[in-house]
Amino acid sequence: MLKFDFTNLFSDAIVNGISINDIKKYDEIIKNITKKIDDNKPGFLEIIFSRKWIDSVLDLKDFIFDFDNLVVLGIGGSALGNIALQNTLRPFNWNYLSKDERDGKLRIFVIDNVDPDFVASILDTIDVHKTLFNVISKSGTTAEAMSNYLIARGILENYGLNPKKHLIFTTDPEKGVLRKIANEDGIKTLEIPQNVGGRFSVLTPVGLLSAYAAGINIESLYDGAKNAYSKLSNPLMKNPAALIALTHYLYYNKGRNIAVMMAYSNKLYYLADWYRQLWAESLGKKFDKSGNEIKVGQTPVKALGAVDQHSQVQLYNEGPDDKIITFLKVEKFERDIKIPSVHNNEEALSYLQGNKLSALLNNELKGTENAILEHGKPSMKITFPQINELHVGEFFMTYELATTIAGELFNVNPFDQPGVELGKKITYALMGRKGFEEYKITKNGERIEI
Ligand SMILES: O=P(O)(O)OC[C@H]1O[C@](O)(CO)[C@@H](O)[C@@H]1O
Q: What pLDDT, in 10s, does the model give residues 82-129?
A: 999 999 999 999 999 999 999 999 999 999 999 999 999 999 999 999
The answer to whether 221 and 271 are in contact (CB under 8 A) is no
Q: What pLDDT score does 449 carry? A: 53
Report the C-alpha gap between 147 and 235 in whole angstroms. 48
The answer to whether 417 and 402 are in contact (CB under 8 A) is no
Nearest ligand 1 atom to the CA of 192 is: 1
Q: What pLDDT score does 297 carry? A: 98
pTM to 2 decimal places: 0.97
Report the C-alpha gap between 322 and 320 in whole angstroms. 5
Report the C-alpha gap between 185 and 166 in whole angstroms. 12
How far is the centre of ligand 1, averaged over its atoms, from the C-alpha of 47 (Å)? 19
- Which residue's alpha carbon is nearest to atom 4 within ligand 1? 137
Query: What is the phi/psi pair of residue 346, to 5°?
Result: -95, 100
- Per-residue pLDDT of 159-177, as tens digits, reads 999 999 999 999 999 999 9
Q: What pLDDT score does 262 carry? A: 99
Domain with CATH 3.40.50.10490 in the chain: 3-37+222-418, 45-215
Class (C level, CATH) for 3-37+222-418: alpha beta
How far is the centre of ligand 1, averaged over its atoms, from the C-alpha of 164 (Å)? 25
Report the C-alpha gap between 45 and 226 in whole angstroms. 9
The best mutation among 78, 141, 200, 201 to test binding of ligand 1, ranked by most ligand atoms within 8 Å of the C-beta, falls on 78
Q: What pLDDT score does 265 carry? A: 98
Q: Which residues lie with the beta carbon below 6 Å from any ligand 1 atom?
A: 75-78, 137-139, 142, 145, 198-199, 281, 417, 420
Report the C-alpha gap between 190 and 200 in whole angstroms. 16
Which among 281, 369, 394, 400 is annotated as catalytic?
Answer: 281
Q: What pLDDT score does 261 carry? A: 99
Q: What pLDDT score does 441 carry? A: 72
Q: What pLDDT score does 282 carry? A: 98
Strand segments, DSSP code E, in 58-142 are 69-73, 107-111, 131-137
CA triple 313-392-385, angle to 5 deg: 75
Q: What pLDDT score does 440 carry? A: 79
Residue partners of 90: CB distance under 8 A and separation at least 6: 108, 214, 215, 216
Q: What pLDDT score does 445 carry? A: 61
Using DSSP's 3-state secondary structure scheme, residue 302 falls into strand
Low-confidence ranges of the chain (pLDDT < 70): 443-450
Q: Which residues pair with 323 in a beta bridge?
A: 258
For the chain, the average pLDDT equals 96
The answer to whether 250 and 9 are in contact (CB under 8 A) is no
Domain 45-215: give its CATH architecture. Answer: 3-Layer(aba) Sandwich (3.40)
